[in-house]
């Protein structure tokens, strides 16, 4: 790891050459696309998107059309991770309902094509902002983007999974307990050092979980840099990265999104983006409380209960996710050039998570 400060917009935007261990078999892929994607023709060129920490994602250009391919990575993987078949299924269901999704074209389970399962979807031209304060846009545009984000996650949580044909997409009961068990196990499997706050959280969280009577589709990683914004408006054209999606507690999903307001900053600019310490009023960004109230109004809630417990859970979960990235670096399966820098955020995230657990204990 170097001491350079990470320019998130430059580091994660666009494409790069594909490293040897993630190369695709172009002739086999071309043949599969010709047979399975309506309207596909021509020779293809393939590059890899810079963004994305988990499932390698590629830009496929052919004649006058372009596509996106997202695959399960090769190598030693954590159980139940990288389920691209689930990503494809939930996107199919939501696309049929008019939710902003890249149109999914086809899924392939045949390992002989590129070596792991994958799916192909529409390539949407638009803007992805990797800094949550959205530099270089006018204040009114920033206001509109934040309102569109709030409206979009509320829309997602109002869908009835049964009406979409995905009532079996996850077990609705005991969502938080199962998530904590899952991410505790993932953390243990990728652990590289002892972090006292993670130990405290894995003991405290299972005994202090709020009850929830709501079940919805949860995205699992809803944030600005997983959205494609239209080139010439502030509309959201697509929500990306459905790897962690399931059925569960919508409040937990929304509070994950709220972490942006409280995210510990990294001197190197690694981890995820943060609004902490910025002049939100000057930027046209709502305060956390105002943004939460707008979501509550859109989803029929009077308030967001147990906020500190949900924050403790979500900061713990993100710490475990980033530890997984560090573990993949250790195991040689990391797909992002900045994986080592991401690992530096695990301890700060655990510290913030435990601070919210302590606040919840003192209520």
pLDDT in tens, 333-362: 555 555 566 668 899 999 999 999 999 987
Domain around 28: 8-122
Domain presence at residue 266: yes
Retrieve residue 226's tokens: 């997983």
Where a domain ends, among 122, 150, 184? Answer: 122
Question: What is residue 75's predicted lDDT score, i.e. its pLDDT?
Answer: 74
Do 278 and 305 fall within a single domain? Answer: yes
CA distance 346 to 336: 17
Q: Is the pLDDT of residue 4 over 60?
A: no
**Are 254 and 193 in the same domain?**
yes
Same domain, 84 and 181: no
The pLDDT tens digits of the residues spanning 64-111 come to: 899 999 999 887 655 556 789 999 999 999 999 999 999 999 999 999
Residue 195 lies in a domain: yes
Domain membership flag for residue 74: yes
- Count of residues in the chain: 363
Percent share of the chain, pLDDT over 90: 75
Mean pLDDT across 119-137: 95
Domain identity same for 257 and 355: yes
Do 89 and 208 lie in one domain? The reply is no
Predicted confidence (pLDDT) per residue in 286-332, tens digit = 999 999 999 999 999 998 999 999 999 999 999 998 888 776 666 56
Q: Which of 90, 122, 154 is the last residue of a domain?
A: 122
Give the CATH number for residue 261: 3.90.1200.10
Contact 25, 113 (CB under 8 A): yes
CATH of the domain at 47: 3.30.200.20
Measured distance between the N- and C-terminal CA atoms of the chain, rounded to whole angstroms = 41
CA distances from 73 to 23, 24, 311 (A): 11, 11, 30
Q: 3 in a domain, yes or no?
A: no
Q: Are 182 and 320 found together in one domain?
A: yes
Q: Is there a single domain that holds both residue 314 and residue 251?
A: yes
| Structural domains in the chain (count) | 2
pLDDT at 1 over 50: no
Q: Per residue in 195-223, pLDDT tens? A: 999 999 999 999 999 988 899 999 999 99
| Domain limit, last residue, from 75, 90, 122 | 122
Q: Is the dihedral of CA 122, 128, 130, 132 positive or negative?
A: negative
pLDDT confidence band for 112 (50 / 70 / 90):
very high
Q: Name the band, by pLDDT with cuts 50, 70 and 90, for residue 245.
A: very high
**Conformational region of residue 75, where left means phi above 0, alpha means psi within -120 to 50, and beta covers everything else:** left
What does the block give as tokens for 354? Answer: 């435990």
Both 240 and 319 in one domain: the answer is yes
Confidence label for 50 from pLDDT (cuts 50, 70 and 90):
confident
Are 150 and 117 found together in one domain? no
């Amino acid at each position: 790891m170097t001491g350079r400060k990470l320019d998130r917009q430059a580091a994660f935007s666009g494409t790069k050459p594909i490293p040897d261990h993630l190369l695709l078999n172009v002739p086999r892929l071309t043949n599969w696309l010709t047979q399975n994607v309506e309207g596909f023709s021509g020779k293809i060129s393939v590059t890899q998107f810079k963004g994305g920490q988990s499932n390698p994602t590629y830009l496929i250009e052919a004649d006058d059309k372009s596509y996106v391919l997202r695959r399960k990575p090769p190598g030693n993987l954590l159980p139940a991770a990288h389920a691209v078949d689930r990503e494809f299924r939930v996107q199919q269901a939501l696309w049929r309902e008019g939710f902003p999704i890249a149109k999914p074209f086809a899924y392939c389970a045949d390992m002989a094509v590129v070596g792991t399962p994958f799916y192909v979807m529409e390539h949407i031209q638009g803007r992805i902002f990797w800094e949550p304060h959205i530099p270089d846009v006018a204040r009114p545009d920033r206001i509109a983007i934040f309102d569109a984000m709030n409206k979009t996650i509320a829309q997602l949580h109002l869908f009835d999974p049964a009406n979409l044909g995905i009532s079996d997409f996850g077990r609705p009961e005991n969502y938080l307990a199962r998530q904590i068990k899952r991410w505790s196990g993932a953390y243990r499997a990728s652990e590289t050092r002892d972090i006292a706050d993670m130990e405290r959280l894995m003991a405290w969280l299972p005994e202090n979980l709020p009850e929830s009577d709501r079940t919805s589709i949860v995205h699992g990683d809803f944030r600005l840099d997983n959205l494609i914004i239209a080139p010439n408006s502030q509309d959201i054209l697509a929500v990306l990265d459905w790897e962690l999606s399931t059925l569960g507690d919508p409040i937990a999903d929304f509070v994950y999104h709220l972490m942006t307001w409280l995210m510990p900053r990294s001197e190197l600019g690694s981890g995820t983006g943060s609004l902490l310490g910025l002049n939100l009023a000057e930027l046209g960004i709502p305060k956390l409380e105002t943004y939460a109230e707008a979501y509550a109004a859109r989803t029929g809630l009077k308030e967001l209960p147990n906020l500190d417990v949900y924050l403790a859970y979500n900061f713990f979960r993100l710490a475990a996710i980033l530890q997984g990235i560090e573990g993949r670096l250790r195991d040689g399966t990391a797909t992002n050039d900045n994986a080592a820098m991401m690992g530096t955020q695990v301890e700060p995230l655990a510290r913030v998570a435990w601070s919210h657990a302590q606040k919840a204990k003192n209520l």
